[in-house]
Amino acid sequence: MLSFIRKRSLSSLISLIGLLVLVFFLSRLTGDPAALFLPVEASAEMKQQFRELHGLNDPLLVQFGHYVGSVMTGDLGESLRKARPALDVVLEAFIWTLWLAAITMSLVAVAAIVVGSLAAFRSGGFFDRFSSMISLIGASVPDFWLAIVAIVVFSIQLAWLPTSGTGSVLHWILPIAVLFVRPFGIIVQVVRGSMIGALSSAYVKTARAKGVKAGPIIFVHALRNAMLPVITVMGDQAASLLNGAVIVETIFGFPGVGKLMIDSILQRDFNVVLAAILVTAIAIFIMNVLIDLAYALLDPRIRH
């Protein structure tokens, strides 16, 4: 197992370095941060001074050398816009995103597995058709629309929840509810499909013939075998949440990493972009390792 993790870490490290090199040069291709930091009226001399101050006048390779040097010592540089360490800025935001993603995905996993399994158990029945409709709507509804409607209904009309922001448990409910919908819709479908396969297999028929009750059949015998594709899709969905839920963060004023990353790209705050990519890439790598471990746990064929 350890050697497996070691191998994965090494290959991930290589792709991470490749990614950082690529982003370093690509981001610099977008142009000059001075033009965005300073107002349009700023003189060429002021822009020149700004570039000098931030080492942007050096040849690209020299800048890259400096960057690599400081990354080696754990220094990811300073944010141009915020005049503070880029890593601090990113970690501050990433904690929020991590919590948001973790809570949302946990709720999605429980809800989707229960609903999907029950739908599969009586496939073609009322519950199946009902849940299919709900999950289809969930998977296709645009989240910006859902977010605004949720605010209008729950904050303005009913006045149950705050419109946006942070500060109390109540503030988390709407963003999580909105983020919940799409992955839930997608994963219910996957669970259902996978369960139908598992439920029609020979060992389930045997169990039924032996008089095992529906509950244990679904949740003990079939589910474990049906989980492998579900975990893959859940990993995908979780990764996209870890990259930041830009729209939900923007509408709810939630200080996550998605909006930070978009703003930093638009403002050419290169160090923040690189730090954000580094942090999210590491998080996604860790998550992938966890998914592999989960595979191994669930399926002895992989373990051995």
Partner 1 sequence: MKRTMVFGALMAASLTAGISPAAAGSGPIKIVLAEEADLLEPCMATRSNIGRIIMENVSETLTELDVRGKKGVMPRLAEKWEQNTDGSWRFHLRHGVTFSNGTTFDAKDVKHSFERIMSPKNACESRRYFGGMNVAINIVDDYTIDFKVDPAQPILPLLMSLVTIVPEETPLEFIREPIGTGPYKLSNWTPGQQIVLSARGGYWGEKPQVTQATYLFRADPAVRAAMVQTGEADLSPSISQLDATNTKTDFSYLDSETVYLRIDHNIAPLNDVRVRKALNLAIDRQAFVGSLVPDGAVLATALVPPTTLGWNPDVKVFPFDPDGAKKLLAEAKAAGVPVETPITIIARTANFPNVTEIMEAIQAQLQDVGFKVDLKFVEVAEHEGYYSKPFKEGRGPILVAASHDNSKGDPSFTMFFKYASKGTQAGFSDPKVDDLIQRATAAVGDERAKLWSQLIAYLHDDVVADVLLFHMVGFSRVSERLDFKPTIATNSMLQLSEIGIK
**In the complex, least distance from residue 81 CB atom to partner 1, rounded to whole angstroms:** 4
* Tokens encoding 24: 């370093």
Residue 226 host element (H or E): helix 223-242
**In the complex, least distance from residue 52 CB atom to partner 1, rounded to whole angstroms:** 7
Contact of 223 with 117, CB cutoff 8 Å: yes
Contact of 33 with 264, CB cutoff 8 Å: no
Hey, which residues between 19 and 48 contact partner 1 (CB under 8 A)? 30-31, 35-46
Nearest alpha-carbon partner for 198 in 231, 222, 220, 232: 222
Stretch that binds partner 1, among 163-171, 208-216, 223-231, 290-298 (CB under 8 A): 163-171
Residue type, 130: F
95 contacts partner 1 (rule: CB under 8 A): no
CA 110, CA 108: separation in Å to the nearest integer? 6
CA 121, CA 117: separation in Å to the nearest integer? 6
Phi, psi (deg, nearest 5) at residue 122: -115, 65
Nearer to partner 1, 81 or 208 (CB): 81
Among 152, 170, 286, 302, binds partner 1 (CB under 8 A): 152
Among 140, 166, 168, 200, binds partner 1 (CB under 8 A): 166
Contact of 56 with 220, CB cutoff 8 Å: no
**In the complex, least distance from residue 107 CB atom to partner 1, rounded to whole angstroms:** 24
Nearer to partner 1, 14 or 53 (CB): 53
**In the complex, least distance from residue 208 CB atom to partner 1, rounded to whole angstroms:** 53
Hey, which residues between 101 and 140 contact partner 1 (CB under 8 A)? none
Among 6, 7, 66, 84, binds partner 1 (CB under 8 A): 84
Hey, which residues between 201 and 230 contact partner 1 (CB under 8 A)? none
